Chains A and B, each alone.
Chain A
Amino acid sequence: MASSRLQSTARQLSKTFKKKGRFEIGIANELPPAYKKFWREWKVLKPAAVHFVPQEGKWRRDELTGETLPIQNVHIPLKHPAEINDGIWGGEAVVKGFQKRDPYKRRVPHFWVPVLKRTVVKSEVLNTHLSVTVTDRTIRLINDHYGFDHYLLKTPACDLVSMLALKLKKHILTELVNGCPRYAHDPKKQAEIYEEYKTYLSSYTPEEIEWYGLTWYEALCKVAKQKEAANRPMPLKSVYRKNLVEKLKAAGIDGSPASAEDISNTTSWLSKMNLFGKKDEQA
């Protein structure tokens, strides 16, 4: 009897037990919602299908039997090498898989790697040219968005993928928030650029921009640093000194210039010592 009750409570408990998420462990608890929003955009949101054509609609009919079947698009798994963060590949990545080249031969392992090239991109907001590793798709996307800045600002983090693109996006957003200080020499151009790109600022608050484009580790470091700066320990000696001064003031004792001189004399007792003299001369 007792054992069955125990079992039922265990079942109940297992139902209510929830595994702790990434944002509920340790210092990550203190990450602001601004970073959670970026994380959602970066890691939770599903990137656009690049290497396969997803089927449209909800249902399809089997041609042979006339059966109605649901459409389930299972993404092709992508590999993200470390080099992806040094360039802007426009959502492309490496696909690892097999090729079946002959019906009577065993399948052959194959990697589909995007064709990379180094070229120049121009950022209007940053007022500079950059040399980056890109793919043809990136250039096409830049042209379709009418400019590099528009491409970065319009595309969500999950499609940008690379750290370089995210950092640049953060840089551009900060620049816009500050009102394009790089064009300070030309106020007319500055106003023009700001007018063109200010629409993108509406979807971010300044705090969100501050937390945008940070890796998990960088965000944690930032929280830790903020925390440390907020409750910095005060040396006890300064606390005691403050207390003492207050007490002296309350007792009506005031420091006069003569006494200050005395203090300075007393504090420099070490200088009176002659460490390099003879033994009997040493104090």
Chain B
Amino acid sequence: MYFFLQTTFVLKRRWPPPLHKKGGKTTKLRGRHFVYDLVEDKNVVRQPDMKVILNQYVEGVGNAGDVLTMRPNQVYRDYLMPGLAVYATPENMEKYQVEENKPKSEDTFSSPYVQRTMNCLSRLVLQITMSKKEPWTLEPWHVKTSFRKAGFVVPEHAIKMPPGKVSGPDLSLQDKEFFVTVTINKTETVNVRCRIHHWATGLERLPWVEHHWKKVTEPLFPEQAEVLQNLPLPE
């Protein structure tokens, strides 16, 4: 009975055929016996949520052995097919030592979206546009403005500047890089790769370099070299 109900369309005869002899042939069906009414279309009915067990750590979702309860399509597409999760059979429950009533481990993050923000920021190559003519010294508000231009709202107190003083205009800075440390929600910290670009109009303008964000450049401060090497560069 359970399986009968799981179908796309369930039909019913409007005029059922007459009864036939016990164990005999069914009566010949007439045209009217093929007139059907739709009883139910199961494709448009919301399916109940499905349970699966993660078999490895998935970023932003959970650890191995955690039970996920989600829409069946989403579970099938995003977790079962890539092999990140297994069906919640009794054998798998035992294998992954799932405790149904286990309290959810407290998130060490200050918000569920922090991981995503951190990933976005660590992928970023922040171009800090400075004047090519006027003298300047790099200050937090410069970095804040550059962040805003890149689509991130970062308050000044969240920005930790690099150790040394950066001042210009100095065209040797053009192919150097450093990182600033951004603190999210006053808890998580993430390093953001920064590069200085000297800006001017007219004939003074520096020529456009194609895919300049993909290029590997030298670190400005030798003590930052190791961290910069570990930061991912966009491809």
Contact = CB atoms under 8 A, between A and B. Distances in A.
A147 B92 CA distance: 13
B50 A72 contact: no
B11 A122 contact: no
Contact of A137 (B8, B87, B91): B8
B12 A52 contact: yes
Interface in A37-82: 48-54, 56, 69-70, 72, 74, 76-77
A142 to B, nearest CB: 8
Contacts of A97: 11, 34-36
A53 B9 CA distance: 11
Contacts of B216: none
B22 interface: yes
Contacts of B203: none
Interface in A140-171: 140-141, 143-144, 146-147
Given A97-B36, A98-B36, A136 B8 contact: yes
Interface of B: 1, 3-14, 16-17, 19-20, 22, 26, 29, 31-32, 34-39, 42-43, 47, 50, 72-73, 76-77, 80-81, 83, 87, 89, 91
Nearest to A136: B43
A120 B7 CA distance: 20
Nearest to A70: B19
A99 B35 contact: yes
Given A74-B17, A95-B36, A122 B4 contact: no
Interface in A113-128: 114-115, 119-120, 122
B10 A53 contact: yes
A140 to B, nearest CB: 5
A49 B9 CA distance: 12
10 contacts: A69-B19, A76-B13, A97-B11, A98-B36, A112-B36, A122-B81, A129-B81, A136-B42, A137-B8, A146-B87
A196 B29 CA distance: 47
B35 A143 contact: no
Contacts of B17: 74
Contacts of B1: 56
Interface of A: 48-54, 56, 69-70, 72, 74, 76-77, 92, 95-100, 107, 110, 112, 114-115, 119-120, 122, 129, 135-137, 139-141, 143-144, 146-147, 196
Nearest to A108: B35
Chain B CB within 10 Å — which of A92, A115, A143 has the most?
A143
Contact of B26 (A74, A122, A144, A147): A74
B19 A92 contact: no
Nearest to B87: A146
Contacts of B89: 146
A115 B9 CA distance: 10
Contacts of A98: 31, 34-36
Contacts of B16: 74
A144 B8 CA distance: 16
A120 B72 contact: no
Given A97-B36, A140-B47, A48 B3 contact: yes
A52 B9 CA distance: 8
Contacts of A143: 50, 72, 76, 87
B31 A92 contact: no
Given A53-B4, A146-B89, A112 B14 contact: no
A92 B8 contact: yes
A128 B34 CA distance: 43
A98 B15 CA distance: 12
B17 to A, nearest CB: 5
Contacts of A69: 19
Contacts of B47: 140
Given A52-B11, A97-B35, A144-B6, 15 more contacts: A49-B4, A76-B36, A95-B9, A95-B11, A95-B36, A96-B34, A98-B35, A100-B37, A110-B36, A136-B42, A140-B6, A140-B47, A143-B50, A143-B72, A147-B87
B8 A100 contact: no
Given A98-B35, A98-B36, A99-B35, A50 B19 contact: no
Nearest to B15: A100
A277 B35 CA distance: 89
Nearest to A69: B19
A70 B35 contact: no
A144 B19 CA distance: 36
Given A143-B87, A146-B89, A51 B7 contact: yes
B43 A51 contact: no
A135 B6 contact: no
B11 A76 contact: yes
